[in-house]
Amino acid sequence: MCSGRVDLEFILRAFSNGADGVFIGGCRLNECNYITHGNYDALSNVLLSRKIMEHIGLNPERLRIEFMSSGDGILLAEMINDFCRKAEKIGSLGKSEGIDEKGLKFKLEAVTKLIPYVKLVEREKLRVPFKSEEAYHKFFSSDEVNRLFNDLILDKLAISQIMLLLREKPLSTGEMSEILGLNPSEVSRHMHSSSRHGLVRYDENRNRYALA
């Protein structure tokens, strides 16, 4: 299977199922057997996934991609062994990051619900103009991409988390702020936006927000 078909959903599913690390092997860059150069798509996906992982508190080193030819069997074995040693050193998923099982499940579910939107943003806003590994790493570490990531993805992720919280019970702005570690003004902004879109309603009797 082309490495370009390793979807963000596959990566998140692996972590949701308790995997301590995800290793992706692809063809050497610029040596794709197809015209699609899917290995560059895989690299883009990994770099974006690492940014998301870092934001939700997971060590981005738990996700790794390497490129090699079909004749590099020994190299593949060495890379996998090295990755396994590093994953073991990092420790169990969530525990070594100080995230309990419930909190980890919550964070991964919030990101998973956002996958279609993230893929749309990646396709329309985060396409690298030049096909080189250096260009991809430089692009995804640039100030412009960090700004786009904050403006287009992190806000939506916060709303996704809020929707999951309100699915359990109505909450006040202060309660959501404390649970998510967000500034109360940020939560209020998300609530106003969500109210306009008919996603939430404000219960004046209980002074709480609830799903619409």
- Digit-coded pLDDT (tens) for 124-145: 999 998 889 999 999 999 999 9
Residue whose tokens read 């050193």: 89
The answer to the question of residue 43 being in a domain is yes
pTM for the full predicted model = 0.90
Residues of the chain with pLDDT under 50: none
Q: Residue 182 domain-assigned?
A: no
Count of domains observed in the chain: 1
In a domain, 184, yes or no: no
pLDDT at 13: 95
Q: Which two tokens stand for residue 13?
A: 């599913």
Residue 37 belongs to what domain range?
A: 3-168
In a domain, 161, yes or no: yes
Q: Is residue 21 part of a domain?
A: yes
Residue 41 lies in a domain: yes
Residue 192: inside a domain: no
Model pLDDT for residues 55-78, shown as the tens digit of each residue? 999 999 999 999 998 888 899 999
In a domain, 205, yes or no: no
